[in-house]
Structure 1
Amino acid sequence: MTTNNSANVNSTNKQPAKKVTPYLAVFDLDETLIAADSASLWSAFLVEKGVAPSTLLQEEQELMEAYAKGQMDMDDYMQATLKPMIGMDNTAITALVSEFIVQHIKPALYQDAIERIEWHKRRGDTILVISATGEHLVKPIAHLLGADDAIAINLEQVDGKFTGKTTGTLCYQYGKVIRMKAWLDQQDTAFKGSYGYSDSINDLPLLDAVDRPFAVNPDPALALHAQMNEWTIMDWRHDNNILR
């Protein structure tokens, strides 16, 4: 993804030094920035609030088992987990998400993730969160973390109400790369290079697409791949007092 050659930045000729463009730091969300899966927590929250039936939890668990193996059909997952939101408007969903973030997301944040984001921000890097979770959750969580932008699964609305359907390319596996490239095409900045962080083998296409991949608390398949390719493996710890 490196878009320009920095070798001439310290050139000894008399030309003015070129402005150094920032790096792009791309973070997966679930099990990377937080010690949980936000979509699973959301499903449990909706059941707790009486918005979704308890049967959703068993269905969601079975789908997540397939996800861990890299075999989940994301269309099936989104159809199942978005069903409770059908007919609800932005105001209702926003209120639920705000309560959800306070109760379940803030306590799940990795301290090391917060510190890594701050490290990038001190350098002037651009922070992008990219997740295979609905935009109704990803965007406010990314805002909480101080990210510059977020890419997530887009949700369809008709007449201001959620239909339970998705739109566009699903932000999952290689779909993340497609969505990230489309996002890059819309940016005014030509990034000097890119960092990528994820825990999951599902994000192997994304990590292959960045200049500097990091495996964060990786699952066994990603850990093996990282070791074979001499990628940095990071062990991030959870502190449930973060941002309370």
Structure 2
Amino acid sequence: MKTEDHQRDVYFWDMDHTIINNDCDVSWKEFLHSKGVAPSNAMELADKYYQDYLNNTLDDAEFMDFQLAEFKGKTWEEMLELSRLHFTEVVKQKIYPEAEEMIRQQMSEGKLLCLITATNSVIAYALKEYFGFDHMIASKLELIEGKYTGKPEGQYCLGQGKVDLMKSFFIENGGSLESATYYGDSPADVVIMEVVGNPYAVNPSPVLLKAARVNDWPILSFK
């Protein structure tokens, strides 16, 4: 990070249901299924894991094994091509106009923006690329000799995992949770909003909505 970046507060944006009206882990499997890449039972399993996510009962390891099956043996370039196509065909039209306006405005004001998402780094990269976020924190995938193993690498970027990865970001780049702004929508975001200086609940889930009202966090509704 440039020296002047240390003087800038960081604005963290969650992705699914915050910037976009979409769950990319689900739509990614639908997309791969439509292209004949994912197996026939992919959608049934995707729906199950999505409900687990909404209920905050997701088994991270089990889900990642399912989610990353199609990555095994593929290169970054091969999967990024699919990711960009997924973004063009599915995700782009689901961006909330209010979110895009806010993000573009923050960028024009010289604020430092970071996309932060539990979605893996390959799927999220196309949206990061579209907006031109300064940084991205996402769930990482294991590469060995230039090919994906179908396994995650490092900490899963959800809930407390996000908090830990944000702390690591600040150690490397400067700044602090106390001065950070965070936009998120899910029950897993409560633990993040409890520690950042400027939390915003965007299209909040019932659990997050309750926490936002109790803690007097600003609530944003994007259509």
Does 2:167 match 1:208?
no
Report the alpha carbon displacement of residue 191 of structure 1 after superposing the two structures with TM.
8.9
SS state at 1:209 partner: coil
Using the TM superposition, give the Cα deviation of residue 115 of structure 1 relative to its aligned residue in structure 2, in angstroms.
1.0
1:146 aligns with 2:132: yes
| 1:190, distance to aligned residue in structure 2 (A) | 7.0
Q: 5 Å matches for 1:23-172?
A: 23-172=9-158
Deviation at 1:47, TM superposition (A): 0.5
Structure of higher CA gyration radius: 1
**When the two structures are aligned, how many residues end up with a matched partner?**
219
Q: Distance in 2 between matches of 1:131 and 1:121?
A: 19
Please say if residues 20 and 192 of structure 1, whose CA atoms lie closer than 8 Å, have aligned partners that are also in contact.
no
Query: What TM-score, normalized by structure 1, do the two folds share?
Result: 0.85
Q: After the TM superposition, which segments of 4 or more aligned residues of structure 1 sit over 3 Å from their partners?
A: 188-192
Distance 2:74 2:126 in 1: 18
SS in 2 for 1:186: helix
The structural deviation recorded for 1:123 is 2.7
Question: Which residue does the alignment assign to 1:173?
Answer: 159
Cα deviation, residue 54, structure 1: 2.1
Shift of 1:81: 1.1
Q: Match of 1:33, as an amino acid?
A: I
Greater per-residue helix proportion = 2
| One-letter amino acid matched to 1:124 | G
Q: Distance in 1 between matches of 2:156 and 2:99?
A: 25
* Aligned partner of residue 205 in structure 1, secondary structure: helix
Following superposition, the deviation at residue 48 of structure 1 comes to: 0.6
Deviation for aligned residue 1:147: 1.1
Task: Verify the 8 A CA contact 1:128 1:147 in the aligned structure 2.
Answer: yes
Give the drift of 1:194. 1.6
Find out whether 1:198 has 2:184 as its counterpart.
yes
